[in-house]
A and B are shown apart, each in its own frame.
Chain A
Amino acid sequence: MSATTTTTAAPTTSLGRLHLPLLFTLLSPLHHGAGTAGNTGNTSLLRRQSMVAPDGDVTAQPMVSGNSLRHSLRSALAWHLTRTLDIPDGSLSKPVVDLLWSGGAITRTGAQVDLERGRHVEELTPWLTLMGYSAGSDMVAGSLYVNHAHLVCAENAWRCGERARALPQARKRGGSMVGEEFGTRHDVAGTAVDRLIGGGGELLAAPPATTQMIYDMHVVMPGAALDGSLEVTAAATAAQRAVLLVALDEAAPLVGGERVIRLGAKAAVGFGRARLEADLTALGDLEGARAWWEEHLTGRRDEVLGLLTELVA
């Protein structure tokens, strides 16, 4: 190991490994799709995971993927950053937006590791080293693991956390908590609105095809619970933990004294509202973390934005 490597490194604060249980209780129906609508008519099926139960049976129950939950946290931090820094519309590049909301992508080959830049990323943008990212020829793994959230039911009880196992739902079969919802879109043909969209009038060779539809989806019912968790490695820095705390507060803000988050699809039309119960004090003081993070962002605005641009160049 070279002296250069050892003397210029940022110190790492070890706070030990952290396991943070998350308990979601659905306040509205949840649809997290399996991507199978094309094969099932107009019905979207729930995403399920098969697993071996302790009795040896293989069971497949609804779940919300860790990937989806991870995106909720990353997206919450991205929106928080653009709001805090008052980023003007139209002022970012496409790769920077992708880096902020989706973690970026490898865009070129290269074998040289830029240690100096790596330290800058940790110092200036610890949310990237928390969540992991790809940019240029670098792919950096994050210190955060976001586990799947599983339906709390008899079939899943063996792998649920202690609090979830104690719920009455943990004694019921998963199938009893799955239902169906539908939505409709009405054709405006023949309505008062029709005259506003005619446009072509008699120039149209044929009237436009109908846009009327009914769509249908399998859902997990309100009142059902999902058991999830986060793991933060012992190698995570204090800054990364503080940013995670802000991410959780942004993704699941306090509404009427309880934390409410949106899970799965069709959130814009009311699906997937869930109460989140989690002991966030395990990550530190929320007010302090938020104050530090916002002061850091605003105080070093140009450096942060400059680094994001440099990373994707």
Chain B
Amino acid sequence: MTTTAADASVVSEQGGLAARWLLPPGHATPTTGAPLRVVAHLAEPVVALAEHAAPLDGPLSWGAYVAATAAGLVLPPLTRDQVVDFRLPLAVWAAPAPVGAVVDPLLLGAGGLVWGWRCSRAQYEAAEHTSVDVRRKPPTGEMGRFTGERKHHVGLGPFKARAVALPAVTARMVWWHALGDADGVRDLLTHVTHLGRHARHGHGRVLRWEVQADPDAAEGWRERPFPREGGRLEPVRAPYWHPSRLLPCA
């Protein structure tokens, strides 16, 4: 395969974007930042908020993903064995992996330590723990016209009708404590319009973000899962759903 000048230019441009937006694997080292309180003022209940710790690096990574993609960065596919860490404007913690724990190499940073971002879990005062419905109606009328099929069973198979009830939290706001750069956090949060699951259906809409200095965050960011021997398996950094992120935590 020959490489053209245009190819080389694209590779070079992509290399620059990757350097700007992504952390090289295994290079995270502990850092510090300004103590911040980050508040999301909500317009809608958030789906599955109570089921997850939802630390701030989750939404920030989403914001970084949108910003990086908009800038033209083409990310490698997310697979079981491949995941990226965005360069977030937050400080980093590092700790030894719990003794005996199975640690995915993707989780390790400098010195073979497990690392994560210095930010707390999502905190809120729930006015109500409720549920929201997500419905899916099969297009049986259109199937009748545009296919030659004789029947469609609405209760069976991948194209069945669904009415799924999902847990949700009704709250005025969600807040986090973090150590980081306030302007950088604000920039990334402009791309974060919703929190939680089923956001594309309007759930978890954020009315506005507020990022301000808060001395309480100097210690408050520690309100989050940390690796602990014998603890429950929990993810320690974004993307929180990725299996490589799991460690015994307390």
CA distance A52 to B41 in the complex (A): 11
Given contacts A5-B76, A105-B158, 6 further A-B contacts (CB under 8 A): A17-B66, A67-B134, A92-B147, A98-B139, A101-B142, A159-B43
Counting from the closest, the 7 A-B pairs by CB-CB distance are: A66-B202, A101-B139, A113-B77, A105-B158, A234-B70, A14-B70, A235-B69
Q: A1-B76, A14-B70, A94-B149 are in contact. Are A52 and B170 (CB under 8 A)?
A: yes
At the interface, yes or no: B127 with Cβ under 8 Å from chain A? Answer: yes
Complex contact A145–B193 (CB within 8 A):
yes
- The number of chain B residues with a CB under 8 A from chain A is 61
Whether B79 contacts A7 by the Cβ 8 Å rule is: no
Q: Is B242 an interface residue (CB 8 A)?
A: no
State the CA gap A65–B134 with chains docked (Å): 9
List of B residues within 8 angstroms of A35 by Cβ:
133, 135, 163
Quick one: closest A residue to B137, CB to CB? Answer: A102
Q: Is A313 an interface residue when CB atoms closer than 8 A count as contact?
A: no
Chain A contacts for B198, CB-based, 8 A: 67
Cβ of B102 under 8 Å from chain A: no
When chains A and B are docked, how far (Å) is the Cα of A6 from the Cα of B12?
Answer: 9
Q: A26-55: which residues lie under 8 A (CB-CB) from chain B?
A: 35, 47, 49-52, 54
B158 to A, closest residue via Cβ: A105
Bitwise interface map of B from 152 to 169 toward A, beta carbon under 8 Å scored 1, else 0:
100000110001000000
> In this complex, what residue of A is CB-closest to B73?
A12
Is A288 an interface residue, CB under 8 A from the partner? no
Tell me, yes or no, whether B74 is within 8 Å of chain A by CB: yes
CB–CB A70/B201 < 8 A: yes
Q: Is the CB of B193 within 8 A of A1?
A: no
Once the chains bind, are A115 and B69 in contact (CB under 8 Å)? no
| Complex contact A49–B45 (CB within 8 A) | yes
Is B194's CB under 8 angstroms from A145's CB?
yes
Q: How far is the CA of A161 from the CA of B201 in the complex (A)?
A: 18
Q: Complex formed: what's the CA distance from A145 to B206 in Å?
A: 12
B43 and chain A: residue at smallest CB distance: A159
List the B side residues contacting A47 at CB < 8 Å. 133
Task: Give the shortest distance, in Å, between B200 (CB) and chain A (any CB).
Answer: 5
Interface residues in B191-234 by Cβ distance below 8 A to A read 191, 193-194, 198-203, 205, 207
A78 touches B142 (CB 8 A): yes
- Which residues from chain A contact B130 at a C-beta distance below 8 Å? 50
Give the residue of B7, B44, B74 whose beta carbon is less than 8 angstroms from that of A51: B44
A-B contact pairs, 12 of them (CB 8 A): A3-B11, A16-B70, A17-B66, A49-B45, A50-B170, A52-B171, A67-B134, A67-B202, A94-B143, A101-B139, A113-B77, A159-B43
Interface residues of B (CB under 8 A from A): 3, 7, 10-11, 14-15, 18, 43-45, 65-67, 69-72, 74-80, 127-128, 130, 132-139, 142-143, 145-149, 152, 158-159, 163, 170-172, 190-191, 193-194, 198-203, 205, 207
Interface residues on A, range: 35 or more
Whole-angstrom CA separation of A42 from B229 in the bound complex: 57
Nearest-neighbor residue (CB-CB) of B126 within chain A: A52
Chain A proximity of B199: nearest CB distance (Å): 6
B207 and chain A: residue at smallest CB distance: A159
A81 to chain B, nearest CB (A): 11
Report the minimum CB–CB distance from B195 to chain A (whole Å). 12
Name the residue on B nearest A95 (C-beta): B159
B158 and A90 within 8 A (CB): no
* Cross-chain contact of B44 among A6, A148, A231 (Cβ < 8 A): A148
Q: In whole angstroms, what is the CA distance A283 to B71 when docked?
A: 19
B203 to chain A, nearest CB (A): 8
Give the chain B neighbours of A7 by CB distance below 8 A: 7, 10-11
Q: Could you say which of A65, A82, A107, A111 contacts B202, with CB atoms under 8 Å apart?
A: A65
B19, chain A: closest CB distance, angstroms: 11
Q: What separation, in Å, do the CA atoms of A229 and B155 have in the docked complex? A: 33
| Contact A67-B201, Cβ < 8 Å, known A3-B11, A107-B158 | yes
Given contacts A52-B127, A145-B199, A231-B193, contact A93 B137 (CB under 8 A): no
Q: How far is the CA of A9 from the CA of B66 in the complex (A)?
A: 17
Closest residue on chain A to residue B159 by CB atoms? A98
| Residue from A6, A12, A75, A111 within 8 A of B80 (CB atoms) | A111
Contact of A94 with B152 in the complex, beta carbons under 8 Å:
yes
Q: Which residue of A lies closest to B139 (CB)?
A: A101
- How near does chain B come to A57, taking the closest CB pair, in angstroms? 9
Which single residue of chain A is at the shortest CB-CB distance from B84?
A1
From residue A224, how far is it (CB to closest CB) to chain B in Å?
Answer: 19
Per the bound structure, the CA–CA distance linking A32 and B192 in Å amounts to 29
- List residues of chain A with CB within 8 A of the CB of B139: 75, 97-98, 100-102
